[in-house]
Every structure is written in C-alpha cells, then in structure tokens.
Copies of this chain bind each other. A is one copy, B any other.
Amino acid sequence: MSFDLLVKKIKEKGNPSVAGLDPKIEYVPEYIRKKAYTQYGQNLKGASEAIWEFNKGLIDALYDVVPAVKPQSAFYEMYGLHGEEIMHRTIEYAKEKGLYIILDVKRNDIGSTAEAYSKAYLGRTEVDGVECDACGVDCVTVNPYLGTDGIMPFVNDCKKYNKAIFSLVKTSNPSSGELQDLISDDKHIYEKVAECVNKWNEDTVGDSGYGAVGAVVGATYPAQAEVLRKLMPKSYFLVPGYGAQGGGAQGVKPCFNDDGMGAIVNSSRGIMCAYKQGDWKEEQFAEAARAEAVRMREDLISVI
C-alpha cells in the first residue's frame, strides 16, 4: 500500500529514473513504420503496430537499466482503439520484464467516477461478483482539482491492492503557475495541494518510509521543488521535465531527500529519440536509448 515496491526496484537497479513511453509515430524509426504500413496499412492500425514494435525494442533494451516505465495514455488514445490495444500489450510486456508500471493518465472525477477509474487501473472490476482485471498497473497519476473525495477511491485501492498514485502538485509546463502559484492564506495553491497530499498519504506509509500518495513536481521549478520536498517528507516525487523539457540533473536535485531517495525522474523523448542525436543509425534506436538511459542514471547519481 505504499511505494515500497518502487523503492525496492530503484535500489536494485541503482537508478532513480523512469523511461516515459510517449510514442508519437514521428518518434518511431522509418524502417519500422514502413514495414508496419506495408503489413497493416498507413492508418491507425499500422501506426499502432509500428509503435508496438518500437516499444518492445525499447523495453528489451531498457529493462535491466531502469526500474520503471511510464506509458502516457494520451499517446495511445490518439490512435483510437488500436492505440489502446497496444497500450495494454505494452503494459503486459513491461510487466513480464519485471518493470514497475506508472500509467500516466492524470484521471480525476467525483467520488463514484473516481472509483471507476481506480478499478480500471489499480483495483478490480466486479462483474456480478466475479472479479476481473481491466488493466492493472502499479501506479497511476491523478489530478487533485476535485479534492479529497475524488482521490480517496484511489487511496483505498492502494491500501487494498498494494498500489500507489502520484497526484499533480506543481507541474512542469510554462503556464503551471496560473492556478498553482496563486496565493491563499499566505500559501501557494501547490502548497495547499501538498498539504492535501500529506493528509491522503497519512495511513499508507510503508517500510521504505514513503506512503502510497506521491506528488508530481516538475524539474523545471527547482525552487518550488525544494519547498515541496520539505513539505511532503513521506511522499515520493515523480519528476517530469528532465532533458527535453529543459530541466537538468541540478534542477532535479531538490526533489531528492538527503539519502538519495524520494524521487524518480522521468525522461521520455530524451530516451526514445536518443537515436536521432549523434551518429546512431535508425536500426540502433534501442542501443541508443539504452546508452542515454545509462548516461541519465550516471548524471542523476552524480548529484544525489
């Protein structure tokens, strides 16, 4: 019911990073795309099958380097049902390889609907008494805008099924401040959300010292990350914005606790498109991704 499993996998790999699987079709090497279009057509099916080949290659090259992968649901939903299908396939494959799965869905809704989302990804779906797995992952991202009763269904399933969530707190995008940086009672809204995260996290702290409710804190705002690290000592941070979005290792340093734990840093494009940098050939995309994942690991370890 906590992030113990993630912490274990981070320690095993000596690597506090997660490979984002946000596969736009433009990221996929041309030879894979052409082959898939020939076999399935240049359409949503063809694109999805090309993405699957790409994902599989990436997972094969990364599974002994990174502890976790983070598929971003949007980049599968945009390919319709075929995209959804290969998202499920990718999740199953990554599970087989022993990877921790953070599904980036940023879902949220009123209580009864949040419960349905939680069943979809963390819990189980009952069909007249028969329990079924819709798409079980280890962890999902959630949005806090609706307050406690939109989050508790997820927390309850974390407790019941040993799962975890990351709530948005301070996001990495340029306009994140419009709402998140507003001041109320001398506190920023992101600090108010951090207080909520602490409350939601309260009863879930495991042996690792971290609870089941983590926080998304962008690498692009290191000053805010420093404040938030102190505010939520028992919450794991999911840190987007390293690499392509402009945050470097120094930028993510404040997200870690003094013992080098407490944060997992995401890189999506940086790893997936590593083959487009330097002298790699397309066919070496997986090798390039692995090299970048290793470089990133060393970069992170050098600052924490």
Which A positions have Cβ atoms within 8 angstroms of B?
22, 24-25, 33, 37, 42-44, 46-47, 72, 74-75, 77-81, 83-85, 88, 106-111, 113-114, 116-117, 119-121, 125-128, 130, 132-135, 143-150, 168, 171-180, 182-185, 189, 192-193, 196, 240, 245
| B-side contacts of A83, CB under 8 Å | 134
- Assuming the contacts A80-B88, A128-B33, A135-B80, asked whether A178 and B107 have C-beta atoms less than 8 A apart, the reply is no
CA distance A184 to B178 in the complex (A): 12
Q: Is the CB of A125 within 8 A of B81?
A: no
| B-side contacts of A79, CB under 8 Å | 125, 134
- Assuming the contacts A128-B33, A132-B43, asked whether A77 and B116 have C-beta atoms less than 8 A apart, the reply is yes
Instruction: Select from chain B the residue with minimum beta-carbon distance to A218.
Output: B110
- Assuming the contacts A74-B107, A120-B80, A127-B25, asked whether A175 and B189 have C-beta atoms less than 8 A apart, the reply is no
- CB<8 Å pairs between A and B, sample of 9: A22-B113, A74-B107, A77-B134, A78-B116, A106-B107, A143-B143, A178-B196, A182-B184, A184-B184
| B-side contacts of A119, CB under 8 Å | 78
CA distance A119 to B175 in the complex (A): 21
Q: Is the CB of A145 within 8 A of B179?
A: yes
